[in-house]
Amino acid sequence: MKRREDDVKAFIGLIPKNIPTGRVLVTLDELMNKNFMKKHTKFKTVDDFWDRSPFAEQALIDIGAIDQEQLNAYVFAHTEFDTWDEMRIVAATKYFQKLK
């Protein structure tokens, strides 16, 4: 639990100061762009990641409704990440580092 809290604090510190507080809306295509996907996964795009997954239809409706254990197993098998959360945090961190 402590590691996750540290990750979140580090992530928040990366958000540029000129971005208003509150929610920042960024698409998965922006966070997990082609360069990110090619470097860290077996896929060329985030769409390819979902299209080839067993969750393709469900991902279109609500990613949050996907069984996390199954999603984490898919991420572990097809990326360099252990979990979906780790993949999202790394993608967001890289995204915000580019904005600084």
Residue 15 has pLDDT above 70, yes or no: no
- E strand or H helix at 13: helix 2-14
Distances (CA, A) of 45 to 20, 53, 76, 100: 29, 13, 17, 24
The per-residue pLDDT for range 37-72, each reduced to its tens digit, is 999 999 999 999 999 999 877 776 788 888 999 999
**Token pair in block for residue 40:** 């860290």
pLDDT of residue 20: 52
68-95: pLDDT as tens digits? 999 999 999 999 999 999 999 999 889 8
pTM assigned to the model: 0.73
Beta bridge partners of 41: 79
For the chain, the domain total comes to 1
Token look-up 């904005």 returns 99
Q: Which domain does 23 fall in, by range?
A: 2-99
